[in-house]
Structure 1
């Protein structure tokens, strides 16, 4: 019998190793899917239907909600019907709505191919926002940035369908600039233009053209909208981080959407002055620096744009600030393992960070790179594991054994801080519920009569404790910008565990 050559022997050994690692990976995926990510994905997108303002379409699935805000904009003789209520109140704030749109778009751009039957619903959620943003930016060098007076609205507890508070309309223009909200709106329009590039090229072109115009306005007339509109937007959506981050973020999205060298040279020449290398490590509706770094690192890692080399380093330092055990970790975790950034609506930082983790892991994998945190090597797999752990916590793997997504799992918050969900629906109670009388429902201990499926609440405190109390808005209020980045992460998880 002929002896087996050493080369063939090595080949057999490698083949066996490959088979065993493939089997391990497959079985690992099969066993490790502790949650139904596909179900969570469906619900995270459905939530946006519960936040809709304007005339609801016949195919509205969140059926306890009805049309509302049908004369929005009439105070200024403009049509501002549509868009989203940001959270549990009845105000349309343009700044967080634009960020929500950008994050929904980014979710689809990175993971839309994994969404299968949910892709259409995700696009519809984006379009509900962009149709409104097109109305708000229709006049040159003017953006309508808010509908409703938050102070007056917060003095009432009423359904959006019953609203009788003043629908004050606020705008920015060349005399009262609002660079951060204008640049974020440009980012929203630009990122959405990429989403519709193939499915609706005409709409995509309209969005791209408007994004270019809006960004030029943001950059030309610089100033914070928190100065000019302080009494209306503060403390709700004051811009605390300044507008430099939005200019960098907006330029990054325009560079992607237009492929014009103009935006690349803008980023190269102004990146430093716009805070490209600041060491902040929170990503939210207010601060986009980290998001811009990760987005720009893609151009370096995957498109070989050498001039953006530094953004890989900037993105790496953000990652190192999150990883426990790394020398530069600055992130606090609860005893149950949840990232804890801030007591008020902490979950928004968790969802935005997990999105960046799976997205950056994707860029690193494709470019065969890792992150070096002062000698601690962090692989893309480790980033995905950290992201999955955060999502699993949200979905019920936590000390309270409760899902923080409404309608997901056997146990979830029953008394979320949300007017529409906490008051009887128009169908069950057709008579108007006045501004003040709604507080009887607000202060009641009863569970909400309507389930705002998919809503992710603000979440527990630093000790993993959650009060299921309607009045505790910092823990019990959902928000569109908390759900938007989670859509992408859930699509990734549903796909990687073979659920979709």
Structure 2
């Protein structure tokens, strides 16, 4: 047996030991066999667990994802700032604050909207921990009233290299926005993340909650006063929608968190910016902001009617049978927006639809009108359920697109740390070239089971290539998982119903 084969066998043995806790339960498989609702509680827990596998920095003793180790412990050192921590946003080893902030906001939104359901599933503490791992980093990154560090790591050098984060030796270049080099999208998104999280921690840690809200106000002021497009200075995560959507998104969260009328006046004064969008994503925030402000509309703020109209227009573009439908579903029933990482748009859309259906029900509104077609709140929720079920296994491939959930799921995740043996099993350094030749180009399953990771998903024909090289289909992202947390949390009552049926 050659040295490379020995490494693979050693890592596989270690991986099997580490993965036992993430294997599918008999209950979950039984539900699938009966054709009933999936185990949404299990899916929620795994979706949150995924974030522990994306952690950067010094890992705590409570770390549950055992194949990961400490990494990037000197981040920020060139500028004498402490930027250790946060999340790697996808299958690479760069920390991008923009998608990190969006992910934290989505996780916080889920905690705000579905606190009781998530608590009943015994996942609220884990969710709060995932949120705080992100907010702690954002607080560190906002080093002055007009400075926000937005990226740690050289994107090009990192993407040209295939190594686990524990071995990382690519440049940890620092990027920041300032009054002279602004990036309103990122500053506003960071503000939204902190204000949303401040709501989560209000009754848990009041001093931390107040700190988050204070820093959120500072970031919003920075974003609004020094307006400028982020991509004019930075090459990655280019914005195509500009910064107006992020400013509205941020102001909406600040009003929800603080109840300060100046933020309400801001969104009223600028509602002309709002438009009927085609997607909700790390770049396009309008549908999320509109869903938030529509809640205020139903709460009595009738001067926010345009936001209500615009979010309902967005929903009408998604609902099958609507005469304003913009996106078709695949033959298998999956909402299909675009070829690159389509499930990010599915999960984010589902979160908006889930929250809005809940808003309608709570306001005793019978639904929305899409031209001549009426959709009830329960119909909107049913569409969300169909998409979540597709992701969890109800699809032509009969596979779950969440790693570790169900009996069949992706095995060749486009993810550096997951594909290379754990440093605990194989402590010798795996360099860029060895990582590329031995693991990226390998046809073998990933060495470590990244439980809970949702991949980019199948193509328009419901076909999925389980290949590490197919990054648009096989790479996970934090914002994809974060949106899924909100979507699946809204279905937790379905699991209880399925459980009762299965028991009978």
TM-score exceeds 0.5: yes
CA distance in 1, matches of 2:305, 2:262: 18
Give the secondary structure class of the aligned counterpart of 2:369. Answer: strand
Unaligned regions of 5+ residues in structure 2, if any? 1-33, 500-504
Corresponding position of 2:327? 331
Give the secondary structure class of the aligned counterpart of 2:248. Answer: helix
CA RMSD after TM alignment: 1.1
With over 3 angstroms needed to count, the CA separation of the structure-2 counterparts of 1:32 and 1:446, relative to structure 1, is: closer
**CA offset digits 1:312-362 (Å, max 9, x no partner):** 211111111111111111112111010011111100001011111111001
Corresponding position of 2:79? 76
Alignment of 1:65-214 (within 5 A): 65-116=68-119, 117-214=122-219
Which of 417, 426, 430 is residue 429 of structure 1 equivalent to? 426
Give the secondary structure class of the aligned counterpart of 1:326. Answer: coil
Residue 351 (structure 2) pairs with residue 355 (structure 1): yes
Deviation at 1:102, TM superposition (A): 0.4
Which of 471, 482, 485 is residue 484 of structure 1 equivalent to? 482
Deviation at 1:470, TM superposition (A): 0.2
Deviation at 1:32, TM superposition (A): 7.2
**CA offset digits 1:253-276 (Å, max 9, x no partner):** 11111100101111111121xx31
CA distance in 1, matches of 2:391, 2:152: 32
CA distance in 1, matches of 2:144, 2:428: 38
Deviation at 1:496, TM superposition (A): 3.7
Residue 484 (structure 2) pairs with residue 456 (structure 1): no
How many residues matched? 461
CA distance in 1, matches of 2:156, 2:52: 25
Unaligned regions of 5+ residues in structure 1, if any? 1-30
CA distance in 1, matches of 2:411, 2:70: 24
Corresponding position of 1:386? 383
Q: Is the 8 A contact 2:271 2:306 kept in 1?
A: no
Corresponding position of 1:3? none
CA distance in 2, matches of 1:33, 1:70: 46
Structure 1 segments, 4+ long, off by >3 Å, are none
Give the secondary structure class of the aligned counterpart of 1:145. Answer: strand
Give the secondary structure class of the aligned counterpart of 1:323. Answer: coil
Deviation at 1:424, TM superposition (A): 0.5
Residue 340 (structure 2) pairs with residue 344 (structure 1): yes
**CA offset digits 1:405-431 (Å, max 9, x no partner):** 000000000001000000011111110
CA distance in 1, matches of 2:173, 2:188: 23
**CA offset digits 1:152-190 (Å, max 9, x no partner):** 001110000000000000000000000000000000000
CA distance in 1, matches of 2:96, 2:448: 24
Corresponding position of 1:316? 312
Give the secondary structure class of the aligned counterpart of 2:175. Answer: strand
Corresponding position of 1:53? 56
Structure 2 length as normaliser, TM-score?
0.90
Corresponding position of 2:253? 253
Deviation at 1:223, TM superposition (A): 0.4
CA distance in 2, matches of 1:228, 1:102: 24
Deviation at 1:34, TM superposition (A): 2.4
